[in-house]
Amino acid sequence: MHKRVIFNNRLLPYLLLLPQMMITLVFFFWPAFEAIRQSVLLQDAFGLRSEFVGFENFAHILSDPNYLTAMGVTIVFSTTVTLLAMVPALLLAVLADSGIRGASLYKTLLIWPYAVAPAVAAVLWLFMAHPSIGIIGKALNAAGIAWNYQINGGQALTLVILASAWKQISYNFLFFLAGLQSIPKSVIEAAKIDGARPVRRFFTIILPLLSPTTFFLLVVNLVYAFFDTFGVIDALTKGGPGTSTVTLIYRVYIDGNHNLNLGSSSAQSVILMVIVIALTAIQFRFIEKKVHY
């Protein structure tokens, strides 16, 4: 059932829509169109010479073994970041919601990391994990574990995953907490009276009622892991060692911004665009069916 708003003037609704449309056109559609246009061109850095090459940029990038590696890294990276950012956030939210003493203090403290800029977050992790100046890095080496993320690909990937997930926990915590608080207390109390234990209450009542929030966060976190994490990677590992922490978005950034290869970078953006459109469509088509509003 949709509410109908009656406008007397036929023009007014369009006029009210116009600013939003303008913003969408200028900041979303125009760049996207530019990316598609650039992706079929071969240009020098200064834009002095430009040549139409059709799908050559795509063919080149898709046959590059390093690009396929980056795709694998991205899959591992985004699923782990999403999981590591959501599960602890849910756990913390449930704990903070359970009426412990000083709950509001915990809540405030837990929200803080969200205010930290990605590059600063990365530097914090750098100071903890650096093998010779970081507290944790030094401790690990002293304990006989050869920790050096600058030369060990697996360790480097672990580090960027941890830093990226840590950054997002606060955001998820905030939404989970709001979601939890909007669950009617009467439902939970009824379950208590029926003798359901906390774990059972959580899985049969809280989790299903939380599903709209969880679904929203799933989409947001995947998009975050895909697009917003290159700052962390750039500050921590610059994609290294080897190419073990190069994700698709980091490669777009490097090829476009450092290597000034706009054709290839645009082709990669278009590929990313297609992937994210497909992912979102799948999520809305299949997962949303299981969500109860």
Partner 1 sequence: MALFHRRGLAALALTLALTGSAHAQQKVSIDFWHGLPQPLGGLLEQVVAGFNASQAQYEIKPSFRGSYPETMVSSIAAFRAGNAPHIVQMFEVGTATMMAARGAVKPVHELLAEAGVALDTNDYLPAIRGYYSTTDGKLMSMPFNSSTSIMFYNKEAFRKAGLDPEKAPATWAELRAAAKKIKESGASACAFTSSWPTWTQIEQVGAIHNVGVASKANGFGGTDATLDLTNPLFVRHLTTLVEMAKEGTYRYGGRDGAGDALFASGECAITHASSGARARYLKEVPGGIANIGFAFLPYYSEVTTTPNNTVIGGASFWVMNAGPNKVRAREELTGIAEFFKYISRVDVASKWHIDTGYLPITKSAFEAVKATGYYDKNPGADIPITELLRGTMTANSMGFRLGNFAEIRVAIQEEMERAIQGQQTPAAALEAANKRGNEILRAFERANRS
User: Which residues of this chain interact with partner 1, rule CB under 8 A?
Assistant: 42-49, 51, 66, 130, 132-133, 148, 150-153, 238-243, 254, 257-261
Minimum CB–partner distance for residue 245 and partner 1 (Å): 11
Q: How far is the CB of 127 from partner 1 (least distance, A)?
A: 11
Give the 3-state secondary structure of residue 205: helix
Identify which of residues 113 and 240 has a Cβ nearer to partner 1 in the complex: 240
Beta bridge partners of 131: none
Q: Which is nearer to partner 1, 49 or 292 (CB)?
A: 49
Is 249 in contact with 227 (CB distance < 8 Å)? yes
Shorter beta-carbon distance to partner 1: residue 157 or 210: 157
Shortest spacing between CB 232 and partner 1, in angstroms: 16
Other beta carbons within 10 angstroms of residue 200's beta carbon come to 12
3-state DSSP assignment of residue 51: strand
CB 64, min distance to partner 1, A: 9
Give me the sign of the Cα torsion angle 35, 36, 39, 41. Answer: negative
DSSP 202: I
Judged by beta carbon, residue 141 or residue 211, the one nearer partner 1 is 141
Rounded least distance, CB 78 to partner 1, Å: 22
Q: What is the nearest approach in angstroms of partner 1 to the Cβ of residue 157?
A: 13
Shortest distance (Å) from residue 201 CB to partner 1 = 49
Q: Please state, in angstroms and rounded to a whole number, the distance separating the CA atoms of residues 174 and 107.
A: 8
Return the number of the residue (88 or 240) whose C-beta is nearest partner 1.
240
Contacts for 46 with CB less than 8 Å, ≥ 6 apart: none
Q: Three-state SS across 120-179?
A: HHHHHHHHHHCCCCCHHHHHHHHCCCCCCCCCCHHHHHHHHHHHHHHHHHHHHHHHHHHH
- Spatial CA neighbour of 155 closest among 179, 183, 131, 173: 131
Q: Looking at beta carbons only, is 77 or 171 nearer to partner 1?
A: 77
Residue with Cβ nearer partner 1 (46 or 112)? 46
